[in-house]
Structure 1
């Protein structure tokens, strides 16, 4: 009987200490909550050399150098070393390429991360030297319009008043010779 009491007391103590250990381990072993911030995506604005009128597009295809430009990430995408490479800079063998003068095909119908999956189609449809509709680059267009916004007194027609000079002929009318219409 005494032995039985000792066994019961021993079991009781071991169960109590096991519960305490479990309780302590659970409280100590619980990691603090982890707060996961969403990844920061930098969305760049279109480059100065990009065509006007396509502010919300994602990619250009540059037919003369057969590569893409990711507008959102400001990265060139080109094929080299057997794979597609993304870079903030043009590859060295195109360092003299003039992005302002080259034609940019705006990929209006592609939304994704790999426009080059259509490269074989793009390089045929938009061959080297391809020129579609005339384009104005953003730098020239916006600097031209900023100039007129800042220098116009409201009395001029914005269409062509600065582009054509008639050396005093004023539109073909011969002012000063008595022949006013």
Structure 2
């Protein structure tokens, strides 16, 4: 019995000593970010806009806002927010799943960002990594050359050079290319 315990201890010790191989998963979704989003982020799951108390799901290109006692999901900015300038107001990057379900926490945590206009929008950036975004002012110049300035003309983010996943003339989450002029109604409930 004593030998069995010693062997078990040795096996456990050897098992604990084995070096672990951590997996690193790096995601980039720059091409999916709207041009009114803030610069400096290679990956964004949600933007929280404290001035409006709403969320924008970057991968799904959908707005999420509270109305009538429930969360509403829509692909266009709701009409009641149309007078706000998305390029100026502060956006908080949140990479959690369904942050709107903890809205009271985020509202309190980021209340001090209301009324702040201290972020550079992607539209105004001259960093070539943002040129893959279809509505970026430099997108067409890069697409016409077939490569990113100073970069490799090969694929970026699984896309053809100079292309993004957006439809031509469309901003993420908007119709008609203007971030503050919503068109149409959205669906009920988050997806």
So what's the TM-score if we normalise by structure 2?
0.47
- Greater RCO, CA 8 A, separation 6+: 2
Structure with the bigger percentage of helix: 1
Q: Which is higher, the Rg of structure 1 or of structure 2?
A: 1
So what's the TM-score if we normalise by structure 1?
0.50
